A and B are shown apart, each in its own frame.
Chain A
Amino acid sequence: MNFLKYIWLIPLLPLVGCFFNGVFGKRFSKVTIDFFALGSTLLSFLCSVGAVWQLSRLQPEERVFNLNLFEWIPAGVALTAHGFANFSIQWGYRLDPLSAVMILVVTGVGFLIHVYSTGYMAHEHGPHLGGYYRFFSYLNLFMFSMLTLVLANNFALMFVGWEGVGLCSYLLIGFYFHKKSAGDAGKKAFIVNRIGDAGFMLGMFLIFQTFGSLDFGTVMARAAEAPIEVYGSVGVLTAIGILLFLGATGKSAQLPLYTWLPDAMEGPTPVSALIHAATMVTAGVYMVSRTSVIYTHAPTAMMVVAVVGGVTAIFAASIGLVQNDIKRVLAYSTVSQLGYMFLACGVGAYFVGIFHLMTHAFFKALLFLGAGSVIHALSGEQDLRRMGALKNKIPKTYVTMLAATLAISGIPPFAGFFSKDEILWQAFSSEYGRWWLWLIGVVAALMTAFYMFRLIFLTFYNESRVDPEVEHHIHESPSNMIVPLQILAVLSVIGGFVQIPKFLFGGFDGFERWLEPVFKHPATEAGAAAVEHASLGAEAGLALFSVVVALTGIYLAYRFYYRPSSAPDRAMASAKPVYTVLFNKYYMDKIYDALFVNRTKDLGNALWAFDRGVIDGGVNGSGWFTRFTANVSCWWDKWIVDGLVNVVGFTVKMLSYPLRILQTGFVQSYAFLMVLGIIAFIWLYVLR
């Protein structure tokens, strides 16, 4: 079987599952719902594996498979900067090494989370609640949208997936729609995303205007021929890059559009794991990598990406230091890690961004699922201050979460070490890198290690602060929740071995070589050469340094939260204002409210007040004017509007009058009319 020919099945299968569960799910038993949801996802995963395996059998240069299913929007010819271009959009899929990595992550992690959800959401199944089928239907719809996003071979279809995942995110954040906060969070996510989408759309328009196509292959080929813009200037490519990146900041929760992600934690925990950690939020990173040619030709845009990524990494990590909600800590961590990925893309190391995307998908999904398991064990408790000493009560959850925490902190040999270290190295040594970008990354790494171990210590160590009532309900999660955790834990340990730096055992660059065909073009060749110059010693030294930094973060967390002493307390007391600012998330939500949300409301109120004023004023103060206008409009109605209507009616009547006369109902007169018609025809043909 040629799996490549059947890649259209990969997105379609979850859609089928979505259809069955969504339409008939209400009457299905739990097993049937599981069958459709899990079955379709598993099949999709197997198809992905098959397709990627066959892709890997090809020569590296040939690893691009385009499959155009049908012409989706044929809209004719338009004049663009690239001459006349046919605006024809295919419903087509493109499998290349980049999308291969993405579909494996999406379907693989997605399937594990589906399995997990059958346990986590089990209590939702029932005739009265009925949320179970809805949940899986949405989840499968999400899979479809995400796979469409990553498999699309043009910007327009990618945008379909882009909007589709946004919609699913909205639906799933607001899954518990009876909770006002959940509904609000859903709306917030959708609206903030829409702001970014506007950027994406403008970028897309500009791409068509510039390159005369929306097809990835064509656009990339044409962009590769364009001259590289001067650093510091804003040309067309830079504008495209920044507009697209605006879309990415919305979807991937970067400054300034990150605020929706922490609120999105109102959704069920598997959703947080799948959508708001492992897959959807990485769409921005994928998109930037997908358009790497454009960015490489626009150094200014790259710098914007790198700076925004770096600042977001440190900014979100600092908020994460003091949050007390277990899921919110992870949410800020996600924002921060996404910042890392953008940092990597911004310094031209796209493959590292994707590498970190993959490892992050493993360990962050695991952290969320683990958190879900903790919450499950504690009957819904999410506050770190009311946890503690869970290590022996839920040991399996503890072990897997510890593995993920070590991975995210960057401790070798866990997966996070390899990807994070590569990012820092690239930030330091790449052609586009800067020493201060590296410094930002290192500080963020320190914070990451600190807040993650703070979370571990507060959750699993020390004395129990759990409500006595909850205490005796504590139980380890069922095996359908634990097994996905264990699989992800294994992946978090070994996931980094696909790319090992040179100074360790001679190194291994399998991942880089796999992605090379996607990112390799003349402009990157120069950058790659520059990297070669840097010495192995420096790379090893920096790696060692970042491990030391991580260990420092862990030690600080240990001092602060495992074995509290007076010193940290004093330090905290002296830094009280800082703590307050961090605890309130830099007051960003309030600032946004003040700057945008409330101003918008004010505008609405003002318009309303204006309306009311005019109407009241009109009634009270301008009686004569009303009477005057009434008279005018009466005259208008009577002579012009009625006149027009009457003219039309009169015309129709006059036209239909002869018709009525002809339509006598007598068959002989009909026959006579036909004879007249025949005579007319003969006359028209023969005699005229």
Chain B
Amino acid sequence: MTLPQVPILPILPELILTLFGIAVMLFDPFTAKPHKSWLSSLAFIGVLAALAGNVLLLAAEGEYYNGMIIVDSFSVFFNFLFLIIAGLSILASRQYLVREGVNHSEYYGLLLFATVGMCFMGGANELIMIFIGLEITSISTYVLAGFRRTDLKSNEAAIKYFLLGSFATAFLLYGIALMYGATHTTHLSQISSALLTGRIDLRLVLAGTALMMVGFSFKVATAPFQIWTPDVYEGAPIPVTGWMSVGPKAAGFAAFLRVFFVALPALDQKWFWVLWVSSVLTMTIGNTAAMLQSNIKRMLAYSSIAHAGYILVAFAALTPNGIASIMFYLLAYSVMNLGAFAVISAWSLSGERRVTIDEFAGLGYRQPWLAAAFTVFLLGLTGIPLTAGFTGKFFMFRAAINSKLYWLTIIALLNSAASLYYYLRPTIAMYMREPGESGRTSAPQDSAPLQISMATKVVIAVSVLAVFYLGLFPSTILDFAQSSAFLVH
């Protein structure tokens, strides 16, 4: 009896996450209610185990499973990113979930499954695999967006995201089908070589490229497919919003980058201009609309659109440096945004109250540390020097300049400068306004001392440290990103 040797190492993090996801799901029905507090710990241990597994991947570079999965430093980098995001999100969610009465095992299970899908998107070397990863991620995300089942807004967010998301995914699949029809392969590097032979129907390939870009643009929320973002981000539970704004977005960019740079470099002069236009639109729409928001979640939703626009600037540079800077920026943006949402979640009251910008008034006096951390995150998102946001933007815009994209960079810089206006609004409210000045009278129990759990504090502290670390010593991570970017390009 001989068994074929099936390597499990290449998908070790995914396997670990899946097992822990199943374990978490089963843990809940088999245990009594008081033990529910173990759920988040179990999920977090799963993430740590997957991180350990991911370290092993560094030594297993290569293509596996008939070229469906690729392990290279690009995929390992993104695995690390997704796992860090998942870990921080799990820590940041627990207090919120308990407060809202939805501390169910499914939350952690879905988060882990979604992370599995994201890891597959980062490590996929083949269009079907990307699609499967994307679907695993998306379906989990749809459910998570509606996790506050009794809340109408949460339901609305879930159904909107589901309908529009399926719509977009269908186009992605359509694009994949056209691509397969034209090149007779779904394998990325084979598509690339097929394009070079010239014996293919270019119109089919172009239509396929357009439709795949529709799918990816929807996932990363860039114009003109950003329209769903504000409504979904506003309605989803706060930790889910924080997670959604970084995790699936980063996964979308990972697949987006890999497909376009590995499979379609021959057409880069075609898609370059689409990226250019989309980038300008995305940045401008995001920043302009963010200025008028009063709900902080909605404001950060538009801000996340704007950031996707900045990333497209570096995307359009079409250089390994551009890719590396995007990878760095995704990490920087993730810690800043997760930190900011952790603060919002800590400050908000049960039932998702106290989430307007005006209601942040006086936070600077009541919770000086929390306010300081929030200020750090907002300044980081603006791109103030010493923070991760600055170094990240600096590398991205430098990559664009090196590719002679002067106009695009100028527009991006103007946008970035304008964003200071709305990022400063919560800061001004926190430090310069008295609570209640906005005319709202708060209930007495609302002014009770804030209880912030240790886990949330850890997330905020880690994020602040990461913001400064990436801002001050970017070279280690950037070097790693650069080495992997060359592989992709």
Q: Quick check: do A and B touch in the complex, using CB within 8 A?
A: yes
Q: Does B227 touch A at the CB level, under 8 Å? A: yes
Chain B minimum-CB-distance residue to A673: B227
Cβ contacts under 8 Å, A659 to chain B:
285, 288-289
Q: Does B468 touch A at the CB level, under 8 Å? A: no
Q: Does B406 touch A at the CB level, under 8 Å? A: no
Are the CB atoms of A667 and B159 closer together than 8 Å? yes
| Contacts of B189-234 to chain A: CB distance below 8 A | 203, 206-207, 209-211, 213-214, 217-218, 223-225, 227-228, 230-231
Cβ contacts under 8 Å, A680 to chain B:
224
Are the CB atoms of A670 and B227 closer together than 8 Å? yes
User: Given that A656-B291, A674-B167, A684-B274 are known contacts, is A663 also in contact with B230, CB under 8 Å in the complex?
Assistant: yes
Q: How distant is A648 from chain B, measured CB to nearest CB, in Å?
A: 9
Which one of A655, A665, A684 lies within 8 Å of B231 (CB-CB)?
A665
| Contacts of B51-75 to chain A: CB distance below 8 A | none
Q: How distant is A77 from chain B, measured CB to nearest CB, in Å?
A: 14
Are the CB atoms of A677 and B225 closer together than 8 Å? yes
Q: How distant is B219 from chain A, measured CB to nearest CB, in Å?
A: 13
Chain A minimum-CB-distance residue to B284: A655
User: Given that A659-B288, A670-B160, A678-B171 are known contacts, is A685 also in contact with B274, CB under 8 Å in the complex?
Assistant: yes
Are the CB atoms of A662 and B274 closer together than 8 Å? no
Q: Mark B275-305, 1 if CB is under 8 A from A, else 0.
A: 0010000001100110110000000000000
Q: Does A84 touch B at the CB level, under 8 Å? A: no
- Bound: A89/B160 CA distance, A: 52
Q: Does A577 touch B at the CB level, under 8 Å? A: no
- Bound: A671/B224 CA distance, A: 11
Cβ contacts under 8 Å, B292 to chain A:
652, 656, 660
Cβ contacts under 8 Å, B218 to chain A:
674
User: Given that A70-B475, A659-B289, A676-B224 are known contacts, is A667 also in contact with B164, CB under 8 Å in the complex?
Assistant: yes
Residue of A660, A665, A671 with most chain B CB atoms under a 10 A cut-off: A671
Q: How distant is A685 from chain B, measured CB to nearest CB, in Å?
A: 4
Q: Does A127 touch B at the CB level, under 8 Å? A: no
Are the CB atoms of B274 and A674 closer together than 8 Å? no
Q: Does B2 touch A at the CB level, under 8 Å? A: no
Number of interface residues of A (CB under 8 A): 25
Are the CB atoms of B291 and A671 closer together than 8 Å? no
Chain B minimum-CB-distance residue to A667: B160
Q: Does B163 touch A at the CB level, under 8 Å? A: yes
Cβ contacts under 8 Å, A71 to chain B:
475
Chain B minimum-CB-distance residue to A685: B210
- Bound: A684/B224 CA distance, A: 13
- Bound: A660/B289 CA distance, A: 8
Q: Does B38 touch A at the CB level, under 8 Å? A: no
- Bound: A492/B301 CA distance, A: 71
Are the CB atoms of A670 and B164 closer together than 8 Å? yes
Q: How distant is B18 from chain A, measured CB to nearest CB, in Å?
A: 32
Which one of A74, A656, A660, A677 lies within 8 Å of B214 (CB-CB)?
A677
Cβ contacts under 8 Å, A685 to chain B:
206-207, 209-210, 270-271, 274
User: Given that A663-B230, A667-B159, A667-B163 are known contacts, is A674 also in contact with B225, CB under 8 Å in the complex?
Assistant: yes
- Bound: A242/B210 CA distance, A: 67
Cβ contacts under 8 Å, B291 to chain A:
652, 656
Cβ contacts under 8 Å, A676 to chain B:
224
Cβ contacts under 8 Å, B223 to chain A:
677
Which one of A652, A667, A670 lies within 8 Å of B288 (CB-CB)?
A652
Q: Does A681 touch B at the CB level, under 8 Å? A: yes
Cβ contacts under 8 Å, B203 to chain A:
686
Q: How distant is B98 from chain A, measured CB to nearest CB, in Å?
A: 30
Consensus secondary structure, chain A interface: helix
User: Given that A71-B475, A655-B288 are known contacts, is A681 also in contact with B213, CB under 8 Å in the complex?
Assistant: yes
Cβ contacts under 8 Å, A81 to chain B:
none
Q: Does B369 touch A at the CB level, under 8 Å? A: no
Cβ contacts under 8 Å, B163 to chain A:
667, 671
Q: How distant is A74 from chain B, measured CB to nearest CB, in Å?
A: 7
Q: Mark A508-530, 1 if CB is under 8 A from B, else 0.
A: 00000000000000000000000
Q: Mark A643-687, 1 if CB is under 8 A from B, else 0.
A: 000000000100110011011010100110110111011101110
Q: Does B273 touch A at the CB level, under 8 Å? A: yes
Are the CB atoms of B273 and A678 closer together than 8 Å? no
Which one of B210, B227, B473 lies within 8 Å of A682 (CB-CB)?
B210
Q: Does B373 touch A at the CB level, under 8 Å? A: no
Consensus secondary structure, chain B interface: helix
Q: Mark B131-164, 1 if CB is under 8 A from A, else 0.
A: 0000000000000000000000000000110011
Q: How distant is A485 from chain B, measured CB to nearest CB, in Å?
A: 43
Q: How distant is A571 from chain B, measured CB to nearest CB, in Å?
A: 64
Are the CB atoms of B475 and A681 closer together than 8 Å? no
Cβ contacts under 8 Å, B277 to chain A:
684
Q: Does B476 touch A at the CB level, under 8 Å? A: yes
Q: Does B246 touch A at the CB level, under 8 Å? A: no
Cβ contacts under 8 Å, B168 to chain A:
674
User: Given that A655-B284, A670-B164 are known contacts, is A663 also in contact with B227, CB under 8 Å in the complex?
Assistant: yes
Which one of A70, A667, A684 lies within 8 Å of B273 (CB-CB)?
A684
Chain B minimum-CB-distance residue to A683: B210
Residue of B218, B227, B271, B284 with most chain A CB atoms under a 10 A cut-off: B227
Are the CB atoms of B207 and A686 closer together than 8 Å? yes
Are the CB atoms of A677 and B289 closer together than 8 Å? no
| Contacts of A53-76 to chain B: CB distance below 8 A | 70-71, 74
Which one of A655, A671, A682 lies within 8 Å of B167 (CB-CB)?
A671
Chain A minimum-CB-distance residue to B203: A686
- Bound: A655/B414 CA distance, A: 15
Which one of B211, B230, B274, B475 lies within 8 Å of A74 (CB-CB)?
B475
- Bound: A70/B479 CA distance, A: 11
Cβ contacts under 8 Å, A677 to chain B:
214, 217, 223-225
User: Given that A674-B227, A685-B207 are known contacts, is A70 also in contact with B476, CB under 8 Å in the complex?
Assistant: yes
Q: How distant is A167 from chain B, measured CB to nearest CB, in Å?
A: 18
Q: How distant is B460 from chain A, measured CB to nearest CB, in Å?
A: 18
Q: Mark B337-349, 1 if CB is under 8 A from A, else 0.
A: 0000000000000
Q: Mark B163-180, 1 if CB is under 8 A from A, else 0.
A: 110011001000000000
Q: How distant is A662 from chain B, measured CB to nearest CB, in Å?
A: 7
Q: How distant is A682 from chain B, measured CB to nearest CB, in Å?
A: 5
Q: How distant is A282 from chain B, measured CB to nearest CB, in Å?
A: 31
Residue of A659, A671, A681, A686 with most chain B CB atoms under a 10 A cut-off: A681
Q: How distant is A243 from chain B, measured CB to nearest CB, in Å?
A: 29
Are the CB atoms of B167 and A656 closer together than 8 Å? no
- Bound: A682/B207 CA distance, A: 6
| Contacts of B387-418 to chain A: CB distance below 8 A | none
Chain B minimum-CB-distance residue to A91: B473
Q: How distant is A658 from chain B, measured CB to nearest CB, in Å?
A: 10
Are the CB atoms of B289 and A670 closer together than 8 Å? no
Cβ contacts under 8 Å, A678 to chain B:
171, 210-211, 214
Q: How distant is B484 from chain A, measured CB to nearest CB, in Å?
A: 19
| Contacts of B354-378 to chain A: CB distance below 8 A | none
Cβ contacts under 8 Å, A673 to chain B:
224, 227
Chain B minimum-CB-distance residue to A654: B288
- Bound: A667/B167 CA distance, A: 11
- Bound: A426/B393 CA distance, A: 59
- Bound: A663/B288 CA distance, A: 13
Cβ contacts under 8 Å, B230 to chain A:
663
- Bound: A665/B228 CA distance, A: 9
Chain B minimum-CB-distance residue to A669: B227
- Bound: A659/B223 CA distance, A: 12
Cβ contacts under 8 Å, B213 to chain A:
681
- Bound: A663/B234 CA distance, A: 13
- Bound: A580/B94 CA distance, A: 76
Which one of B164, B206, B210, B473 lies within 8 Å of A671 (CB-CB)?
B164
9 pairs, A vs B, C-beta closer than 8 Å: A652-B288, A659-B285, A663-B230, A673-B224, A674-B168, A674-B225, A677-B223, A681-B210, A684-B273
Given A673-B227, A681-B274, A682-B210, output 7 extra A-B contacts at Cβ < 8 Å.
A652-B292, A655-B288, A671-B163, A671-B167, A680-B224, A681-B211, A686-B206
The 5 lowest CB-CB distance pairs between A and B, nearest first, are A677-B224, A685-B210, A681-B210, A685-B206, A655-B288
